[in-house]
Amino acid sequence: MLDGKKIALYVTGGIAVYKAADLARSFIKEGAEVKVAMTKSAAQFVSPLTFQILTKNAVMTNTFEETEPEVVNHIHLADWADAAVIAPATANTIAKLANGLADNFVTSALLATTAPIFVVPAMNKNMYEHPATTNNLALLKERGAYIMNPDTGFLAEGYEGKGRFPEKERIVKELTGWLKQEQVSGPLSGKRVTVTAGGTKERIDPVRYITNDSSGKMGYRLAEAARDLGATVRLITASSLPVPNGMESVAVESAQDMYEAVSEAFDSTDVLIMAAAVSDYTPAKSSNQKIKKNTGNLIIEMAQTKDILKEMGQQKTDQFLIGFAAETQNIEEYAQRKLKEKNADMIVANDVSKEDAGFNVDTNEVHLYRKEGETIYLPLADKKEIAEKILQYAVEDMKKEG
């Protein structure tokens, strides 16, 4: 399953180091070449010699021990690898990576590598659940690393909890699946696709907000479909659904946050898919304190938000823009108007008054209004299928636009 893959296995210090030795063997059995780097604390648990004998490669532990004068070892390992696997990954190393520290061989190589990073956290339950660790892992995930879920079970500390090093079979399976995805080549290979998803939340005060019924499902399915066609995907999400594997994500709350995230990504975007239900209005003033009940009505003045799609339509150079139109009437007229007014290349229009289409359901039924082609009707289908078809037509139109 890992035929010909070059795996840099980074071993950091925890009791699960002894299991990493067996993991190295599994990688080799699956056809990979493995080179190991260890932290000093990892070497306290199992000798580097064990890994050296198993992998038939020298094990790196010291940044300043340069055995071959023609190469800088940590850069060499960083560049050599097709995949960087950190197993076990301690809370300490995870924290260093999240903050860009490079104070030993392992962290230096990991900062230098452009290979996909696969993290196998293993530690005490309380350390794993500490907000610092949770935040650090979320940050690594946001940057594109794959984070495995540790097993729950009997820990070395003598009690049950989440934090155990997973079975090697599960590690090999998840790594193989993920690498396959990372490598897919398809009509969107080399393209950077930015997808927005979910309904924005506009704060009235610290505990109240205005939002809409969008779940984010359509955007997520589009992000996955783009990934499967080979694109590098950035998902800008206002939804709380878990981010799919194999993509970068930016969590946002308000229309303004989303505008900023899209603007930042836009220069390096080839395709922008605005699947998010962006609020057109936001409270003109949001209160820092909870608003107290008073006699009489409460009037909230609403100010217009920026129309992200329209702004990007004005700024666009050669980006392909896909917008959505959620309508309850005059679908064709409104969709065609949005196509022109927002300078989009495609508008995916749906009738949100229908029960099986649009917000918060797994299916959709849409019309594609295209700058470069005739209108396409996509009958009721799973959102995954609809997403694949949308991208298929987008790829076709992009070819025409050159």
Structure tokens at 119: 């993290």
| 323 makes contact with ligand CTP (CB under 6 A) | yes
Number of shown-chain residues binding ligand CTP (CB under 6 A)? 14
**Which C-beta is closer to ligand CTP: that of 59 or that of 274?**
274
Site track for ligand CTP across 221-260, x = CB under 6 A: ----------------------------------x-----
Q: Give which of 234, 145, 225, 146 is closest to 188, Cα–Cα.
A: 225
| 280 makes contact with ligand CTP (CB under 6 A) | yes
Which entry of 73, 124, 212, 343 is annotated as an active-site residue?
A: 212
Residues 6+ apart with CB under 8 A from 340: none
Count helices and strands (H / E) in the chain.
Answer: 14, 19
Residue 212 annotated in active site:
yes
How many other CB atoms are found less than 10 A from the CB of residue 397? Answer: 17
Q: What is the DSSP letter of 199?
A: B
Q: 205 exposed, middle or buried (CB, 10 Å; 0-12, 13-18, 19+)?
A: middle
| Closest distance to ligand CTP from the beta carbon of 214 (Å) | 9
| Closest distance to ligand CTP from the beta carbon of 71 (Å) | 49
| Closest distance to ligand CTP from the beta carbon of 215 (Å) | 14
| 195 makes contact with ligand CTP (CB under 6 A) | no
| Closest distance to ligand CTP from the beta carbon of 299 (Å) | 22
Q: Distance between CA 322 and CA 299 in Å, rounded? A: 36
Q: Please pick, from the candidates 27, 118, 146, 324, the single residue that binds ligand CTP as defined by CB under 6 A.
A: 324
**Residues 287-306, interacting with ligand CTP (CB under 6 A):** 305
Task: Decide: 324 and 196 in contact? Cβ < 8 Å.
Answer: no
Task: Decide: 133 and 95 in contact? Cβ < 8 Å.
Answer: yes
- CA-based diameter of the chain, in Å? 80
| 325 makes contact with ligand CTP (CB under 6 A) | yes
**Side chain identity at 12, as an amino acid letter?**
T
**Residue recorded with tokens 């452009």:** 114
**Which C-beta is closer to ligand CTP: that of 39 or that of 237?**
237
Q: Please pick, from the candidates 326, 352, 366, 368, the single residue that binds ligand CTP as defined by CB under 6 A.
A: 326
| Closest distance to ligand CTP from the beta carbon of 253 (Å) | 14
| Closest distance to ligand CTP from the beta carbon of 87 (Å) | 40
| 266 makes contact with ligand CTP (CB under 6 A) | no
Task: Decide: 144 and 135 in contact? Cβ < 8 Å.
Answer: no
| 308 makes contact with ligand CTP (CB under 6 A) | yes
**Which C-beta is closer to ligand CTP: that of 182 or that of 327?**
327
Beta bridge partners of 37: 10, 60
| 278 makes contact with ligand CTP (CB under 6 A) | yes
Q: Distance between CA 135 and CA 97 in Å, rounded? A: 12
Q: Distance between CA 318 and CA 119 in Å, rounded? A: 36
Return residues touching ligand CTP (CB under 6 A): 255, 274, 276, 278, 280, 305, 307-309, 323-326, 338
Catalytic residues: 212
